[in-house]
Amino acid sequence: MTTPTDVRVYVNERGVSVAIGAVALDAVRALFPDQADAIVSGSMRLTDSRGLPVAADIVLTGGSIFRVVPVRERTDDPA
């Protein structure tokens, strides 16, 4: 029996296999390098499958689902 060397995750509905020990940003970068740069610059953020923000440096587990979304500025002034 062989030991797996990679883990399968999903970013924006696309599957990607990355090395065990990789972080979420690595998976984004493998599929969408421009979006990975935008996460690093702060103009986009990473969320889980429920839309909750997650850190880009979390270690991946198989089957994880992520979405890259724009960062929206909040205003305290009701329109």
Enter the pTM of the model: 0.86
Q: Are 60 and 48 in contact, with CB atoms under 8 Å apart? A: no
Q: Which residue has the higher pLDDT, 78 or 30?
A: 30
Is the domain 6-70 a CATH 3.10.20.30 member? yes
Alpha-carbon span 51 to 60, nearest angstrom: 17
Tally the residues of the chain: 79
**Burial class, 21, CB count within 10 angstroms (exposed 0-12 / middle 13-18 / buried 19+):** exposed
Q: How many helices (H) and strands (E) does the chain have?
A: 2, 4
The pLDDT assigned to 4 comes to: 83
Tens digits of per-residue pLDDT, 8-60?
999 999 999 999 999 999 999 999 999 999 999 999 999 999 999 999 999 99
Q: Give the single-character DSSP code of 27.
A: H
Domain chopping of the chain, boundaries: 6-70
